[in-house]
């Protein structure tokens, strides 16, 4: 009896310690965000004198200035330059992150379903092997050839072109979908097969609804990844600058107005706000467990 009580006490102490560590870790994640918001409300002079404290005289001048200076000049034909402002960059970011995230998630999901539900075909094993190999072997030095190919195929500097280029099943999310579909019993589709349903109908009407939580979670993660990406828009769609590219240009600009640290942090906060709102709305989906009901006999 005493041993059992000691085990319970030790387990309780372990839980308290782990909860305390997780709480400290969670707080540490929010400290940089709070510091960035605090720094964005300071003038450059106040930031130099008080970099880590709260602002004594908060001001939104940095945000007003950022909305005015966050732009990208896009050269057009015949020497014409079009200035893309922040509102238009937000639109391009939504098109880029939303379209690429949806297509990349859907491609990985469909390919993983085919490889998981039809293991008798040799191509299923080949697809799985390709994903594993590409995750192990680093692929470098292919940027010039990709740019040349995108130009040749007419995909360069078009939004629909970058969507097509993101139709790839390679990566970790293929393995996530593959493991999930492999874990789904075939009993789910037996009734549909008896009713004469095709493989496409079974996939769309039965298995995809069961995978909707995982699909939505992967879609959100892909959306966040593409939203924060500035290199691909900079290289492949220069005529459609996103917010991430605008903040990159804003932070590396030599203009006197945004040379201070508070101004540059303000640009980063503006780009962060939509993702922060998205996380607060869907945080349970992002960090929660994905569960699926079983079959009742």
Which residues lie closer than 8 Å to 172 by C-beta, 6 or more apart?
135
DSSP 8-state secondary structure symbol assigned to residue 260: S
Give the pLDDT band (50/70/90) at residue 95. Answer: very high
Q: Which one-letter DSSP state was computed for residue 206?
A: I
What DSSP string runs through 75-143?
Answer: E-GGG-EEEE-HHHHHHHHHHHHHHHHHHHHHHHHHHHHHHHH-TTSHHHHHHHHHHHHHHHS---S-H
Lowest mean pLDDT among 8-12, 125-129, 192-196, 275-279: 8-12
pLDDT at 297: 38
Query: Which pLDDT score is estimated for 293?
Result: 40
Can you tell me the mean pLDDT for 165-190?
82
Give the whole-angstrom CA distance, residue 14 versus residue 111: 43
Question: What is the overall mean pLDDT for the chain?
Answer: 79
Based on DSSP, count helices (H) and strands (E) in the chain, helices before strands. 15, 2
C-alpha to C-alpha distance for 9 and 267, rounded to whole angstroms? 50
Q: Are 246 and 89 in contact (CB under 8 A)?
A: yes
| Class of residue 243 by CB neighbours under 10 A (exposed 0-12, middle 13-18, buried 19+) | buried
pLDDT, average across residues 137-148: 76
Q: Would you place residue 296 in the very low, low, confident or very high pLDDT band (cuts 50, 70, 90)?
A: very low
Residue 96 has what pLDDT?
Answer: 92
Whether pTM exceeds 0.85 = no
d(CA 270, CA 226): 16
Average pLDDT over every residue of 16-29 = 83
Query: What does the pLDDT read at residue 10?
Result: 59
Helix axes 172-183, 86-117, angle to 10 degrees: 40
Q: Whole-angstrom Cα distance, residue 290 to residue 280?
A: 18
Tokens of 162: 């970058």
258 or 263: which leads in pLDDT: 263
Least confident of 135-144, 175-184, 266-275: 135-144
If you average pLDDT over residues 169-189, what whole number do you get? Answer: 81
Does residue 259 register a pLDDT over 70?
Answer: no
Least confident stretch, 88-102, 189-203, 259-273: 189-203
What does residue 56 show for φ and ψ, rounded to 5 degrees?
-75, -40
What mean pLDDT do residues 237-262 have?
76
When pLDDT is averaged across residues 220-230 and rounded to a whole number, the result is 89
Residue 207 has pLDDT above 70, yes or no: yes
Model confidence at 18, pLDDT cuts 50, 70, 90, reads: confident
DSSP codes joined into one string, 143-197: HHHHHHHHHHTT-TT-HHHHHHHT----SHHHHHHHHHHHHS-THHHHHHHHTT-
Per the CB < 8 A criterion, the answer to whether 83 and 146 are in contact is no
Stronger pLDDT, 64 or 291, i.e. the higher one: 64
Using CA atoms, how far apart are residues 275 and 224, in angstroms rounded to an integer? 7
């Amino acid at each position: 009896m005493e041993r059992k009580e000691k085990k319970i006490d030790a387990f309780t102490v372990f839980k308290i310690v782990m909860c305390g560590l997780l709480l400290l870790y969670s707080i540490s994640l929010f400290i940089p965000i709070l510091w960035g918001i605090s720094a964005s409300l300071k003038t450059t002079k106040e930031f130099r004198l008080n970099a880590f404290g709260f602002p004594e005289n908060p001001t939104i001048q940095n945000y007003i200035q950022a909305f005015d200076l966050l732009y990208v000049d896009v050269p057009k034909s015949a020497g014409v330059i079009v200035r893309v402002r922040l509102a238009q960059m937000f639109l391009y970011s939504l098109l880029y992150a939303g379209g690429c995230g949806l297509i990349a998630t859907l491609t990985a999901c469909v390919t993983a379903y085919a490889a998981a539900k039809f293991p008798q075909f040799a191509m299923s094993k080949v697809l799985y092997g390709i994903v594993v190999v590409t995750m192990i072997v680093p692929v470098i030095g292919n940027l010039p050839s990709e740019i040349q190919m995108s130009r040749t195929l007419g995909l360069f500097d078009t939004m629909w072109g970058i969507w097509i280029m993101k139709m790839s099943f390679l990566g970790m999310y293929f393995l996530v979908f593959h493991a999930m579909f492999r874990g789904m019993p075939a009993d789910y589709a037996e009734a549909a097969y008896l009713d004469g349903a095709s493989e496409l109908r079974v996939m769309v009407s039965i298995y995809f609804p069961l995978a909707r939580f995982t699909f939505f979670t992967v879609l959100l993660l892909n959306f966040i990844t593409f939203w924060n990406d500035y290199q691909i828009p900079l290289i492949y769609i220069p005529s459609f600058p996103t917010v991430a590219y605008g903040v990159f240009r804003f932070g590396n600009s030599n203009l006197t107005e945004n040379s201070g640290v508070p101004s540059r942090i303000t640009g980063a906060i503006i780009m962060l706000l939509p993702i922060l709102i998205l996380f607060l709305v869907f945080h349970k989906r992002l960090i929660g467990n994905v569960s699926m009901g079983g079959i009742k006999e």
